[in-house]
Chain A
Amino acid sequence: MNRSRLVSLLVVTLFVAACGSTGGGGGGGNSYAGKTIKLGAVYSITGAGGVYGPQSRDGAMLAVNQINAGGGVNGAKISLTVEDDASDKAQSAQKAQALIQQDNVLAVLGPTLSNSAVAVHPLAENLKTPILATSTTGIHIVPDCNFPDTTPCKYVFRDSLGEQTAIPDNIKAYVDDSHPKTGVLLVAQDDKFSSDGGKIVQATVGQYNIQLLKTIPFAKATADLSPYVTQAVQLKPDVIFITSLGGIPAKIMTSARNQGWQGQFLGGNGFNTATVSKQAGAAGKGARSASAWYIGNTFPTNKDFVDSYRKEFNKDPDQFAAQAFTGVLILADAAKRANMSLTSSSLASDRDKLRGAMESVNIQTPLGPFQFTSDHDVKQTVWVIQMDGAGGFTLVKSIQPS
């Protein structure tokens, strides 16, 4: 064996050892070259949740494509399987089960609707698979996914801004500006998202000395909401709180303005899509809500996101696209640091490692700087926005996380 061959052998050995040690050390340098990080998502593409699901899918796929085009996660490509749950709770759980147990995904994004989430999240917890909610905002999502059992769920995370944060922040911001004395709450009583929001409004107003004159619940499938609005308007409140979604908030705003009421509308996540602003038109001008995301933010991660989304899909992104995009960034960052083996026999331990790494995520996202709280909920800047009366929003103020 001559000298030069000995040296080269030594170099190779050292190099291999070095790689091995960084890999074992759990730093940023572990290589997944040639492997695949399998992720799944359950979104409502068809059915009533189709208002949100398609944007979530598009946002998530955009992030996956960008990461893969940039060399992947430590050399591994991400593959994302998106399943449609048809806005149905039972199908949502079925699709999640197949993703987890048949497709062997490392983690699941979704589902779109709160009703489905409260059925699917405990299932993922049971199967010890990380699940990241990107659009659900109700209560008892994190950490108490098994409510009324209050044991924190280890595998359930959420990157969408809960109504529990959004509604109080929004009310506080408005109280700081004006000093409303009375309010009426209009709440759709037959879906979980809206009912949760109503409970939060009722629990919050007292802190700010707003007298809630009346709570007016209604069924979502009410043809004409004018009678309910009439009841509200006749009490001459300073504020009308609306916790509902889909086409309802705009219907209420239009009817209240037509009946000559001039006060302030305050709401929750149900206001936060451009479609609602567009549907309400002039009647919605000034209606305020707290949002996880604001399209006009010009910091680089958001500007890049908005530009590439527009280029890819020929339309503006919305909050749901931004949150799903962020969801993939979070999982990719966690995967990068999780030092997984990514073999078929290591699935359970890989899921555990990924879960552990998710807890310490700290990255820049289109939502702003992003971390999880110890409850696995979002810790991010909240953007208070108001409708501009022409189908868009303007930023009122931003609130830093406490």
Chain B
Amino acid sequence: MDFFISLFSDPVGFWNSHTLLISQIGINGIVATSMFLVLYSGQLSLAAPGFMAIGAYTSVLMDLNWHTPFVLNVVAAVLLAGVVGVLVGLPVLRLRGVFLAIATIGFIEALRLGVILNLPITGEGLGLKNPNADPLGGVPIILVSLVVVLFVVWRLTRGRLGSAWSAIRQDEIAALSQGIFVARYKMIAFVLSALLAAYAGALEAHLNFFVDPGDTQYGVTRAVQILTFAVLGGSGYVLGPLVGALIVTLLPYIFEGAGDYINIIAGAFLIAVIIFRPQGIVGRGGLAIIRPAWWPRARLSAPSPG
């Protein structure tokens, strides 16, 4: 509970001593938004950690070998991820649902186990040390990025792209019969999502003195975590995945009191939230109260006592 007490009693001190946590929330928020883009267009893609790895390794390797400026590294990393996104998207986007999910798992694990862990330049299993990291100074750029990303994605969902994505998500065949170029719109969402994930990966690498090829970083474990952000938060609204990222990242602090049993409580919490809010926390009715089905509905219709 110390965590929340200090949050409210000494917000400035809290902010200064939790910049890493706040940065991580921001990064997770950007990745969650990347997940939102694919889910919003009806694609269950779990490729985000692969693109994060491309972003992280490209930017750090450019810095280590060529000493190029950070901005250039990030731009190059994001562009490379875009290219890879197109190449991966071309064959896999025909797949739907869980098939797409598994194909993208194949992609991220083949990339991690087959490529990253075996190239001398990526440091193999040793990972990459990143001595120019700036763990404490990243907050402003990350939070500004998050706001910009959310705004842009929100605008997109309100425009022609957004209505095409919605149509595809609701019924791909109907969308096709209405003359929507389903393949093209799906590819746009997939590549945008790859760009965002790579951007988040590059930022995350900039926060850390160490780029780690482990499963929790760029493997299935991370993919599942990112999916959890989006589904828990709700993938129908731009803010949903961000809320999911915020809650999941804060779980260790929210349930600090559970001590060693924290994961049991956190797991039970996940189940409870998804059962009571299957559409996610941010769903129809906005930030609705968590309410089980058997809970008495609408007070409005209750007879008023005169």
Contact = CB atoms under 8 A, between A and B. Distances in A.
Contact flag (A, B; Cβ within 8 A): yes
Nearest to A149: B131
A38 to B, nearest CB: 14
Interface stretch (B89-97, B179-187, B212-220): B212-220
A147 interface: yes
A119 B208 contact: yes
Contacts of B113: 190, 219
Nearest to A188: B125
A196 B129 CA distance: 13
B131 A195 contact: no
Contacts of B101: none
Contacts of B21: 94, 97-98
Given A123-B209, A126-B136, A190-B214, A97 B129 contact: no
Given A91-B252, A126-B135, A191 B17 contact: no
Interface in B1-36: 6, 13-14, 16-21, 24
Contact of A45 (B19, B136, B260): B260
Which of A119, A189, A191 has the largest number of chain B CB atoms within 10 A?
Answer: A119
B135 A189 contact: no
A379 B45 CA distance: 51
Interface stretch (A82-90, A172-180, A201-209, A343-351): A82-90
Contact of B117 (A90, A122, A140, A190): A190
Interface string B208-252: 111011111100000000000000000000000000000000001
A17 to B, nearest CB: 39
A97 to B, nearest CB: 5
Nearest to B128: A148
A101 interface: yes
Contacts of A102: 6, 13-14, 17-18
A122 B132 CA distance: 11
A190 B213 contact: yes
Interface in B183-209: 208-209
B127 interface: yes
A46 B17 contact: no
Interface in A42-94: 45-46, 84, 86, 88-91, 93-94
A264 interface: no
A260 to B, nearest CB: 30
A101 B6 CA distance: 12
A196 B126 contact: yes
A194 interface: yes
Contact of B17 (A101, A148, A195): A101
A119 B210 contact: yes
Interface residues of B, number: 35
Contacts of B20: 90, 93-94, 97, 123
Contacts of B135: 93, 123, 126
B17 A146 contact: no
Main secondary structure of the interface of B (DSSP, over half): helix
Query: Interface extent on A, as a size class?
Result: 35 or more
A219 B6 contact: no
Given A115-B214, A219-B113, A140 B17 contact: no
B208 A89 contact: yes
Nearest to B217: A89
B262 A46 contact: yes
Nearest to A125: B209
A88 B213 contact: no
A91 B28 CA distance: 13
Interface in A111-157: 115, 118-119, 121-123, 126, 140, 146-149
Contacts of B217: 89
B110 interface: no
B170 interface: no
A67 B155 CA distance: 62
Contacts of A353: none
A251 interface: no
Contact of B260 (A46, A115, A119, A146): A46
A102 B17 CA distance: 5
A148 B131 contact: yes
Contact of A118 (B124, B210, B215): B210
Interface of B: 6, 13-14, 16-21, 24, 64, 113, 117, 124-127, 129, 131, 133, 135-136, 208-210, 212-217, 252, 260, 262-263
24 contacts: A84-B252, A89-B212, A90-B208, A93-B20, A93-B135, A94-B24, A97-B18, A97-B19, A97-B136, A98-B21, A100-B17, A115-B212, A119-B212, A122-B133, A123-B135, A123-B209, A126-B135, A126-B136, A190-B125, A191-B214, A192-B125, A195-B125, A217-B125, A219-B113
Given A97-B20, A195-B125, 17 more contacts: A46-B262, A93-B135, A94-B24, A97-B19, A98-B18, A101-B16, A118-B129, A118-B209, A119-B212, A189-B117, A189-B124, A190-B117, A190-B214, A192-B127, A195-B126, A199-B126, A221-B215
Interface of A: 45-46, 84, 86, 88-91, 93-94, 97-98, 100-102, 115, 118-119, 121-123, 126, 140, 146-149, 188-192, 194-196, 199, 217, 219, 221
